[in-house]
Structure 1
Amino acid sequence: MAVSSGYDGSGAAAAPFRVLGPLEVSGELGAVSVAPGRQEIVLGALVLELNRVVETTRLVDVIWAHDPPKTARAQVQICISRLRKALSDGGVDATIETRARGYILRGPEDATDVGTFRRLVTEAHALAREGLKMPAVETLRSAIGLWRGRCLAGVPSEVLAGTAAQWDESRLEAVETCMGLLLELGRHEHLVGELMQLVAGHPLRERLRGHLMVALYRSGRQAEALDTYHQGRALLTEELGLDPGRELRDLAQAILTDDPGLALAEQPEPRALVATQVSPPAQELGADPDPVVTPRQLPADIGDFVADDTIVSAICDAVTEGQASGPLSVALVLGRPGVGKSTLATHVAHRLATEYFPDGQLYCDLRGPGGQPVHPAQALGRFLRALGIPGEAIPDALDECAEMYRSLLAGRRILVVLDNAVSESQVMPLLPGTGSSGVLVTSRSLLTALPGTRRFDVDPLSQEQAVRLLGRIIGEHRVESEREAARVLIRLVGGLPLALRIIGARLAARPHWSLTSMWHRLENEHRRLDELAHGELSIRASLSLSYDGLAAADRRLLCLLSLAEGTEIPSWLGAALIDDRTPHPADLVEPLIDMRLLDITAMDQGGEIRYGLSQIVRTFTHERLAAEIPEAERAGAVRRMVGGWMALAERAHKEIYGGTYTLVSGRGERWHPPEDLVRRCLRDPLGWLESEQTNLLSAVELAARSGLDELCWELATTLVTLFEARGYPELWERTHRIALTAVQEAGNERGQAAVLGSLGTLHLHRGEHEAAGPYLSAALGIFERVGEVRGQALCLRDLARIERHHGDDDRALALYESAERYFLRAQDVIGRAYVLGEMAHITMRRADFTRTRSYLDEALGICRSAGFDRGQALVLRRLGQMLMYQQQYEAAERTLLEVLAMVRARGDLVGEGYVLHDLGRVNAHLRRVEQALQYYAQSARIRARILDHSGAAAVRADIVAILGRPVTSVS
């Protein structure tokens, strides 16, 4: 459920820190992105203690409830540093200050929604004590309205969950107090439905159950009141083995004996809650006041309705809250085509009609025949006639019609349902003028200009809900007998209720069809939309209404977006597809979001919104793509899209390595997203590569299928930056096999050499030295023929690794020296630094520590100058090994622990596996057997995880050695 933000339930500007639901932060520049996990937990703890010191030990406890790591305090400091930057960048009016024992989030008292809640509840109690019960109710409703879900929902902390539960308890107490005040005001008849929902959700809360019993009793439903008591008593006995408390038992006895003390004390009812029996405008028109027309225009509710009870209850609350607070309540139900907005609105309207809107219900489908919007004057004419105004008395002017309409509804409790609204201008004249009525609008557009509106996004059905819907249509026995086929059908249509109803209708009409046969019919994407039609129900027709309502440029963009095969679409990609150089590419897709044809799925690490096409919309747009976009235009869009991924991946490599070092570059055409966006996305370049892994892999495959062999091999080899650091050898091989086929078919020699050389490196990464040789030799031959210097250097470097494996250090050293000369010619300082580190390893094994130190110092200086963190870690690891060779074990341990912190901070699993192995050996030399075994075990687990089988075997050999004989070597 998405509710419009910007203002809280009190009508004031929303607090910058909101924890009464999922954690949200906003500043002058809009929403502030907080990294999930530790940063969310730390910020949540600080927000709950605004302007009070939170000790570091407390923050450690809320992050790690059990067994915190040794680096816990350091990690808390990192979180605080990143949070400070996020708050500062977002323009949030708050700061995190350091204190002797911890940290304090300093901000205004109203900077958090919990602070606002606490203030409103205190005000409400004060008003109630002064006898101002209705203002107290309104204040409590504002406080309760601050909640967007469970306190700190989704923040993964066992310790904070306890504190959050206390706030959720405070909310329930406020609800109970509010219900009690409304009972005192004589609102018992209007509270029955709400109290029934509350008791169903919290069946063990005796105060709520007591309120429901009183409301039922005062509504003349004595038997139901007693039955409510007996249900609660049975539940308490079964769940807790207890009887109800004395207060509830006494209340039941009073109801049983019809105790006069239960009668409502006489008091004037607040004017806002009085339902006028005679329509004032009828008197103004000179008509007889006695017959008041009660319109009943709602379409029929459906018996097999399935939806999320939470959103149904929330919409019910939103539509009726105006009757208690005064201002008009408008609930806007949003969703993509086929998601069931109209069905949901109709169900909610029927649920509320009798109890809350007894004076009538008006309904109009604002999308007329052929999808043309109904003019508001036409809708007003229908409503006025339904309210008893003769046709000849209806004014011609729109504003006069609206005035008459508002006068007729003033003081009456009428529900207005406006289905399939297209724009704000269409809806505004149809809004009543007072809060005694309620308005329920459905739309595919956001309609952000509607005043006083609460917005609710309707999502497709969950797996469980969809199964239940199918079962109600075709029979539960058919669904249960083919459960797996039912799940596949649901997945194929993305849980859309309209599509499921079509499937259900077709299966119900053909009892001899199996769900599996329907599944096979839908598997063919080219015929899927043809199959999703039955009678007047059609997914294609539903989508066409939205699609045809788009401008031509927006239709073109939507079709081209279906070319993107990843699960999520970044904001820059739409601009690449149509070659638009706007600095704000997200603006291009806003019309598609407004029409609910494109979904907002997430926000990336750079604060950019990410989008998604549902499977049904993708199928629909693929049809239109082939029919409406020329092949040459489609090919250009694909080339720019892959070129965009190539530009970003190459930039990520540059950010990590300090330049395009160790990378053979090609001539594939790049498409560069806006520089500001690139900088935001690549604040953590390796993290970006990880998060975009699916899209990048899809881009490699798409490039191969589209004949973009140059971009294909370049992108595949650039992604080794990710595969090597995070340990993805299977993805390394998969992308390179695809790229190798593409370059071979295209006769692209340079590309073949680059891919073959990278496959050789992959085999070395796996410890498969014999398999690596032919690949590297073949690549070297081609690189020599085409004059690619950097490629030759890379191959010589890796061939040296093979010689070292064979024990020929002289031959390896000669190859490394050749590789260094080629890297020098190519001006590849990082490639040269790597070779220097390997040469140092050879001289170290020969105990030539002077040369070793010289090589390492030069390599470390290069890496630091380039800002290549991974290279610094590699060199420092060699330094730690040298200290181990010199038997300076404590110094070696300090150096290697520094390296371990570096690789862990970068998420470098490969490096972590190596360093843990080294630390195990250091501790073995220091005769710390238990500590050594722990390091070995961690290293073995990581190497097995990244499929480094030879490395895992080496660790296991050292484990055997430490248990049976001394450790004598370092690899």
Structure 2
Amino acid sequence: MRVQGADGPVRLSAKQRAVLSVLLLHPNVVISTERLVAAVWDDPPRSAVANLQTYVSQLRRVVSGTALRLRTEPSGYACELSPDRLDLLAFEDVVRRARRARQAGEHQAAEQAYKTAVSLWRGRPAEDSRLGSAMEPRIAELEEQLLLARSEWIDVRLELGGEDLVVELRTLVAGHPLRERLWAQLMLALHRSGRRSEALDAFRQARAVLSSELGIEPGRELADLHAALLAGDPAPSATVSQRVPLCQLPADTSDFVGRKAELDVLLPAARARPERMSPPIVVVSGLPGVGKTTLTVHAAHLLRADYPDGQVFLRLGRDAAGPRRPEDLLGELLRSLGVDGTLVPGPLEERASLLRQRLADMGVLIVLDDAQDETQVRHLLPGTARSCVLVTSRSRLPALEGATRLQLDLPGEHDARLLLERVAGGARFRAAPEAARAILKACGLLPLAIRVAGARLAIRPAWPVGVFASRLEDRRLDELIVGGLDVRSTFGESYAALPEPARRAFRLLGLADLGSIAEWSAAALLGSSGLETDAALETLVARGMLDSGEVDGAGQPRYRLHDLLRVYAEERARVEDDPQEQRAALTRHVRECLRRLRAATSDLPIPTAPPFPQAEGMDGVGIAWLAAERRTLVHSVSAAVELGMAEEAAELAHHLSAYLNLEGFFDDVERLQRIVIAAAPSERIALRAELLLAGVPLSRGAYGPSGEHFGRIYQDCLRIGDSHGAAYALINRAACLHGAGLFEEGLEEAHRAIALLEELGDEGGLDYAWTWPVYMHMELGRYGEAVRLCQERLARTGEDRRARGDLLRALGIARYRHGEVAEAVWCYQESLVISELIGDRVAASRGLRRLGEALGALGRFDEAVEALDRARSLFRECGDGLGEALATYALGEVRLRQGRAAEALGLLVTARDGLGPGGPPTWRARVLRELGRAYAELGEHPCAAAVWRQSAELFESGPERAQVEDFLSADQD
């Protein structure tokens, strides 16, 4: 070992030399402290670790002026340097260049490269360093690399003539008398030098050595060369030197697209590197048809130069008897590697041992396609680091030791589109981009499906793309078959390999037709315990039929079926499962949805219709669970109707509306209630759904249409004798009158509703109903009455935290309007504590808006701005445009109080635009009032007067109109 510094060779002590030798024999790799100790000492002293630290510290100082860099890691040490600074790395690089040149037929370039590589060697690796016996395998491996490179160099020189090789080969044969390849090269060199008799004598010597040392006859290659010499062949060749390269790889795909990120992982993990201690193994997994084999074959072609002794391709999939046996696979693999079939042993372990022996000195790339499990693969692995194994499987093969795993996902839309265009021709898609998108969507971006779809279009170049897109959407799997490629058959192979419990789970998941599913849903469909369900799901995930890479906001693992797999699963369910069993599974799921929904919504605001019975809360079932399961629960309403469970559908839609309104999913509420109304078995159920439907425009701030709708529902409820429904129609009509600024009429309606609700004993409805008289008294300037009503109702709310929070917020508004601003702040803060405890983002956003308004009035501007910014963010998250506009208005008020009129003007204009012409008249009037103040502060008096006049018209009467008229009068003066 030599280290060259700027001023010449660097002197090292014996132990420094030993430590550095070990690191240089594993360049750019972290060597653990334990391995380093074992490599330096056969019998390490007790102070070995401390000594090692000392040697490394000394080395850092000694080599500081060289190209070496020693790095300390938590687990050990590494020596970093570039390939051109270490002869070992340079040797590997030059040998790779030589092999590429040889494969390309550039023999002169190959000969020079091999010559350069061999010239880098000076004796044994680190022979002047005293190393422990643990380093012998590594040193032997490097010497084997040298011998192989030298033998390949001789092959090239033989191809160029090679008459001058006899002396060199006799020396090599004397040192390695059991290597048949060297004997064959010597015989060929002797023959080309005109020394035929010596060549025949060399065969007799080789035969004698092999017989006496190993008890075997020369192999076929040596025997064939001997026979050719005996026959007088003028140009005999040794198979070893003129062999046809072993390459069983299927052809690379000419239209291969994308996958750069995946190749950036796969190729470095699979490349031959001198520092490897074990064979590289890469497992490429993913769902059927995602392109595992295509990617792996493409990568294998890119890796051929790294494994010059051959590339083997072996299909491990099922045959008629099931998964192929390792014994059979080993036999096929050994024969591929040139082992005579008559010499292949019978027992599995002996075949595996022979494979490891055969591959020990070879650099072979083995591709194992469609592995079923680890048992199939484990016996097919080489024992040394010179060969590599690429495995494709629908499973990640988690129990396969030492493997790098690459989970192959669906390609992005751009790459999927490019693949479709390359297969079918791009021009026709540029003229029909929407049809192209529809085809990709119907294929679910699955590469196999895209390839089939593209091939179908390529067959019929005049076929309109839009026509095929429509057919594909209606008959997906029936259309995805062409020329031996069949998406349904591909899925069928994977399905057939599943055990029956997993097949049943797969079918029922497809039958449920859900985008994603949590374990509780699967258990309900299967009607089985959690353990049985978990086992079935785990099997589906392991076999690549189900994706489990997601955890939802409630902490639940979610499972997804690819769209096409879901279609296939539903097909299998319709064929294999009894209709009664299908119905029973879906019914169990609907009832479990309802059971959990009752518990999850028990603490939510009541919807705008009389309540259904609710359940006690369940662990893990709350707002986060509702958010995670929204699509499943929405789907359950349609499923219930299809099953003839109209009453359950109505109850599901009712409870779900409480959450959907809270989070701003108003379109979902409308769609669900229309489904319920269309299927309602009675007018009473239909009217209750109408109440919820009429509440959607009310939530959106459209009071006129809602008021008329609630009025009609009130009359219909009275007609059929549903006083409970009538009470809710009245209180919601009162809310609409409040929004329209008709406060006296609203008070009258609210009190009629309250009287009905008191007769019915509906305390939840009363908590909701009493808030409206409070707000109407405030709008009429009766702040003391509003405070009194709030306090009376607070005394009756008991343990209902949500009602208490709403009343505290209303009390805060009344106190604020009454001039008791500090008391209002306390009410808002108490209300916010409750909102945060129960996870009500809507109530929290409203409380924050009011708190910011009050803090601004107290001159606590920084706190006010912080509260209002939080309120705006929450309103935005909840999709509440009205709330966001009002929070922006409040922030504009704060800026006005701070004397920042220009900034206030921008905020108030945004608030005005956010409210729009259909917003609540009272709030529009208030925004315009403050907007006029901002204009006035900036000296733009005509603008101020114009918006104040609009504000006065909207207020119609009351103290706030009088205030605006005062502003106008003062401005004119």
Query: Shorter-chain TM-score: what band?
Result: 0.5 to 0.7
| Residues 39-438 of structure 1 aligned to structure 2 (within 5 Å) | 132-139=23-30, 177=81, 179=83, 185-189=89-93, 264=120, 266=122, 268=124, 270-273=139-142, 274-275=144-145, 277=148, 286-288=216-218, 295-320=246-271, 323-353=274-304, 355-370=305-320, 372-438=322-388
**Could you tell me how far apart the structure 2 residues matched to 1:640 and 1:388 are?**
60
The one-letter code sitting in structure 2 at the alignment partner of 1:712 is A
CA 1:583 to 1:927, structure 2 compared with 1: closer, same or farther past 3 Å?
A: farther
Q: What is the TM-score with the length of structure 2 in the denominator?
A: 0.67
1:799 maps to which of 705, 718, 733:
733
1:720 maps to which of 651, 657, 680:
657
The one-letter code sitting in structure 2 at the alignment partner of 1:548 is A
The one-letter code sitting in structure 2 at the alignment partner of 1:853 is V
Secondary structure at 2:813 match in 1: helix
Q: CA deviation at 1:709?
A: 2.0
Cα RMSD of the aligned pairs, angstroms, is 4.4
**Could you tell me how far apart the structure 1 residues matched to 2:724 and 2:684 are?**
12
Q: CA deviation at 1:651?
A: 3.0
After superposition, give the CA deviation of every residue in 1:882-916 in whole Å (9 maximum; x if it has no partner).
42343859967336859855785585535554455
The one-letter code sitting in structure 1 at the alignment partner of 2:376 is Q
Verify the 8 A CA contact 2:370 2:391 in the aligned structure 1. Answer: yes
| Residues 887-902 of structure 1 aligned to structure 2 (within 5 Å) | 888=821, 893-894=853-854, 897=864, 900=868
Q: Which residue of 1 aligns with 2:772?
A: 838
**Could you tell me how far apart the structure 2 residues matched to 1:863 and 1:178 are?**
76
Verify the 8 A CA contact 1:488 1:519 in the aligned structure 2. Answer: yes
Verify the 8 A CA contact 1:843 1:849 in the aligned structure 2. Answer: yes
After superposition, give the CA deviation of every residue in 1:542-574 in whole Å (9 maximum; x if it has no partner).
110011112223222212212344433233221
**Greater CA deviation, 590-599 or 715-724?**
715-724
2:610 maps to which of 664, 667, 670:
664
**Greater CA deviation, 439-448 or 462-471?**
462-471
Secondary structure at 1:417 match in 2: strand
**Greater CA deviation, 468-477 or 358-367?**
468-477
Verify the 8 A CA contact 1:137 1:181 in the aligned structure 2. Answer: no
Q: Which residue of 1 aligns with 2:840?
A: none
Q: Which residue of 1 aligns with 2:568?
A: 620
**Could you tell me how far apart the structure 2 residues matched to 1:943 and 1:861 are?**
36
Verify the 8 A CA contact 1:877 1:899 in the aligned structure 2. Answer: no
| Residues 505-904 of structure 1 aligned to structure 2 (within 5 Å) | 505-524=455-474, 527-582=475-530, 585-657=533-605, 664-666=610-612, 675-676=618-619, 678-679=620-621, 682=622, 685=623, 687-743=624-680, 746-747=681-682, 749-780=683-714, 791-804=725-738, 809-824=743-758, 828-859=762-793, 865-868=799-802, 872=805, 875-876=808-809, 879-886=812-819, 888=821, 893-894=853-854, 897=864, 900=868
The one-letter code sitting in structure 2 at the alignment partner of 1:751 is I
**Greater CA deviation, 763-772 or 332-341?**
763-772
After superposition, give the CA deviation of every residue in 1:450-487 in whole Å (9 maximum; x if it has no partner).
11111111223322223333333343444444444333
CA 1:697 to 1:178, structure 2 compared with 1: closer, same or farther past 3 Å?
A: farther
Unpaired runs of 5+ residues, structure 2, are 1-15, 34-72, 101-105, 126-138, 152-175, 181-209, 223-238, 826-850, 857-863, 936-943, 952-958, 964-973
Verify the 8 A CA contact 2:270 2:282 in the aligned structure 1. Answer: yes
**Could you tell me how far apart the structure 2 residues matched to 1:191 and 1:854 are?**
93
The one-letter code sitting in structure 2 at the alignment partner of 1:856 is C
CA 1:725 to 1:876, structure 2 compared with 1: closer, same or farther past 3 Å?
A: same
Q: CA deviation at 1:424?
A: 1.3
**Could you tell me how far apart the structure 1 residues matched to 2:904 and 2:658 are?**
31
CA 1:267 to 1:328, structure 2 compared with 1: closer, same or farther past 3 Å?
A: same
Q: Which residue of 2 aligns with 1:452?
A: 402
After superposition, give the CA deviation of every residue in 1:296-341 in whole Å (9 maximum; x if it has no partner).
3222223222241221232122223665321122111111111221
| Residues 950-961 of structure 1 aligned to structure 2 (within 5 Å) | 953-954=924-925, 957-958=928-929, 960-961=931-932
The one-letter code sitting in structure 2 at the alignment partner of 1:589 is L
Secondary structure at 2:601 match in 1: helix
Secondary structure at 1:324 match in 2: coil
After superposition, give the CA deviation of every residue in 1:699-739 in whole Å (9 maximum; x if it has no partner).
33333444332233223333333443333443332332222
CA 1:510 to 1:881, structure 2 compared with 1: closer, same or farther past 3 Å?
A: same
Verify the 8 A CA contact 1:575 1:588 in the aligned structure 2. Answer: no
Q: CA deviation at 1:586?
A: 4.5
Verify the 8 A CA contact 1:884 1:922 in the aligned structure 2. Answer: no
Q: What is the TM-score with the length of structure 1 in the denominator?
A: 0.67
Secondary structure at 1:132 match in 2: helix
The one-letter code sitting in structure 1 at the alignment partner of 2:960 is S
Verify the 8 A CA contact 1:365 1:418 in the aligned structure 2. Answer: yes
Q: Point out the structure with max Rg over C-alpha.
A: 2
After superposition, give the CA deviation of every residue in 1:598-648 in whole Å (9 maximum; x if it has no partner).
223521012212222222212212222221222232233333333333344
The one-letter code sitting in structure 2 at the alignment partner of 1:879 is G
The one-letter code sitting in structure 2 at the alignment partner of 1:969 is E
CA 1:770 to 1:136, structure 2 compared with 1: closer, same or farther past 3 Å?
A: same
After superposition, give the CA deviation of every residue in 1:228-277 in whole Å (9 maximum; x if it has no partner).
xxxxxxxxxxxxxxxxxxxxxxxxxxxxxx9x999858574554344364
Name the count of aligned residue pairs.
743
The one-letter code sitting in structure 1 at the alignment partner of 2:791 is D
CA 1:126 to 1:458, structure 2 compared with 1: closer, same or farther past 3 Å?
A: farther
**Could you tell me how far apart the structure 2 residues matched to 1:304 and 1:140 are?**
42
The one-letter code sitting in structure 1 at the alignment partner of 2:812 is L
**Could you tell me how far apart the structure 1 residues matched to 2:814 and 2:925 are?**
16
Secondary structure at 2:30 match in 1: helix
Q: CA deviation at 1:817?
A: 3.5
Secondary structure at 1:436 match in 2: coil
**Could you tell me how far apart the structure 1 residues matched to 2:916 and 2:626 are?**
23
**Could you tell me how far apart the structure 1 residues matched to 2:260 and 2:887 are?**
52
**Could you tell me how far apart the structure 1 residues matched to 2:111 and 2:354 are?**
42
**Could you tell me how far apart the structure 1 residues matched to 2:570 and 2:813 are?**
57
**Could you tell me how far apart the structure 2 residues matched to 1:877 and 1:817 are?**
18
CA 1:842 to 1:513, structure 2 compared with 1: closer, same or farther past 3 Å?
A: closer
The one-letter code sitting in structure 1 at the alignment partner of 2:691 is G
Verify the 8 A CA contact 1:428 1:450 in the aligned structure 2. Answer: yes
**Could you tell me how far apart the structure 2 residues matched to 1:369 and 1:627 are?**
24
**Greater CA deviation, 397-406 or 845-854?**
845-854
Secondary structure at 1:574 match in 2: helix
Secondary structure at 2:530 match in 1: coil
**Could you tell me how far apart the structure 1 residues matched to 2:783 and 2:613 are?**
43
Verify the 8 A CA contact 2:247 2:312 in the aligned structure 1. Answer: yes
**Could you tell me how far apart the structure 2 residues matched to 1:569 and 1:190 are?**
54
